[in-house]
Amino acid sequence: MESGDARAHDVALSHIGGGEAPAHRDEGHTGRVVESISAPNRSSRNVLLEFLANPRYEVIPVEGIAHEILEHVPRGLTLTVTSSPKKGLERTLQLAEELTAHGFRAVPHIAAKLVVDDRHLRDILERLDVAGVREIFVVSGDSRKPAGAFRDSCALLFAIAGAGHTLDEIGITGYPDGHPFVEAETLMRMILEKQPLSSYVVTQISFDSEAIGSWLGDVRRRGVTLPVHIGVPGVVNRKRLLQVSVQVGVGESARFLAKHGSLMSRLLLRRTYTADALVEGLSPQLADPGSGLRGLHIYTFNEIGLTEKWRRETIKRLRSSLQDEAGGT
């Protein structure tokens, strides 16, 4: 590590909180649950209930999405807002500000390749401070070329640490299924390098509970101690996914679909995908306190209404199951 990076590293430790995320509970929303959720033991079901009471919803900042969120999502939940080369950071920041003003915990994705220089970064951090945004998610971004000084998320994290900020938490990405262009060992080295500058990890969307469990075990053995939010798909409709891919831009739609190709392959077999089997398969990790899981990060693909309905229904059935079990003992 260069001397400048070392200084930024020391500054980062003083600015980034390492505690648990503020708890925003939604105890009152229930409905009919999907029957395939059948975690094998009481402990994992209790943890799943806790996670479903306080999920993170990832949304894409397109026209009309704020209205859908206000219509369907209870205030106080965490909403992360993606960024894209076509929309730029401005649309991301605007939606994060709007959602924060309405009582949500908004987490804008700050793509390193869209930040021009240190002055631009300071402007972003000051703007978020004024809006009351206290958390960001740092990614490299999908741009082919960086707009300025920052070529990847690691470079931006060091710059954020050196700039000073009022953020409580900063998230980074984990890759249970690997990365199409980056070797596994390089990914591990990068997450270890970013760990002192970060507060938690969110995994990229995965459909393989065994791969997620294997990745968790691997990163823990290698010394990654950050809490982890497991990335799972919400209730995704094939037509909606295709609409979103077009909304992010004609030039980007092919990359969007390629990025989520495993989801598309499942949607070719059926019109709608739900994460029931995936969540059930994660039960061993949910029940294991040593896994360091903090919650679920739900990739909604802007299918807000159906995903929220699924969440409420699942909560109701899990509660009913636990009550029946308690009554029978």
Per-residue pLDDT reduced to its tens digit, 211-246: 899 999 999 999 999 999 999 888 877 666 555 544
Coil, helix or strand at residue 280: helix
The pLDDT of residue 4 is 38
Token readout for 170 is 């900063």
Token readout for 208 is 């393989």
| Neighbour count for residue 38 (Cβ, 10 Å) | 13
Token readout for 150 is 């920052």
The pLDDT of residue 289 is 84
The pLDDT of residue 270 is 58
Could you report the per-residue pLDDT of 33-83, keeping only the tens digit for each? 223 334 345 578 888 899 999 999 999 999 999 999 999 999 989 999 999
CA distances from 232 to 70, 213, 273 (A): 22, 13, 11
In the structure, what pLDDT confidence band is assigned to residue 325 with cuts at 50, 70 and 90? Answer: confident
Alpha-carbon distance 110 to 147, whole Å?
Answer: 13
Q: Which of 69, 22, 37, 47 is nearest to 295 (CA)?
A: 47
Those residues whose C-beta lies under 8 Å from the C-beta of residue 48, and which sit 6 or more positions away, are: 37, 39, 279, 283, 286, 318
Compute the half-sphere exposure of residue 292: CA atoms within 13 Å on the CB side of its CA.
20
Token readout for 44 is 């994992």
- DSSP secondary structure string for all residues of 241-283: HHHHHHHT-HHHHHHHHHHTHHHHHHHHHSSEE--HHHHHHTH
107's enclosing H/E stretch is: strand 105-111
97's enclosing H/E stretch is: helix 88-101
Coil, helix or strand at residue 123: helix
Alpha-carbon distance 142 to 180, whole Å?
Answer: 13
Compute the half-sphere exposure of residue 139: CA atoms within 13 Å on the CB side of its CA.
22
Alpha-carbon distance 219 to 19, whole Å?
Answer: 20
Alpha-carbon distance 177 to 208, whole Å?
Answer: 8
Alpha-carbon distance 321 to 324, whole Å?
Answer: 5
Token readout for 198 is 């970060």
Q: pTM for the full model?
A: 0.80
For the chain, which domains are there?
42-327 (3.20.20.220)
The sign of the torsion formed by the CA atoms of 269, 277, 21, 1 equals: negative
Alpha-carbon distance 164 to 156, whole Å?
Answer: 13
pLDDT at 27 over 50: no
The larger pLDDT score, comparing residue 133 to residue 257, is at 133
Could you report the per-residue pLDDT of 245-284, keeping only the tens digit for each? 444 433 343 444 455 455 555 545 556 767 787 888 888 8
Token readout for 270 is 């059926």
Coil, helix or strand at residue 293: strand
The pLDDT of residue 41 is 54
Q: Are 39 and 48 in contact (CB under 8 A)?
A: yes
220's enclosing H/E stretch is: helix 209-221
Q: Are 3 and 157 in contact (CB under 8 A)?
A: no
The sign of the torsion formed by the CA atoms of 226, 40, 318, 310 equals: positive
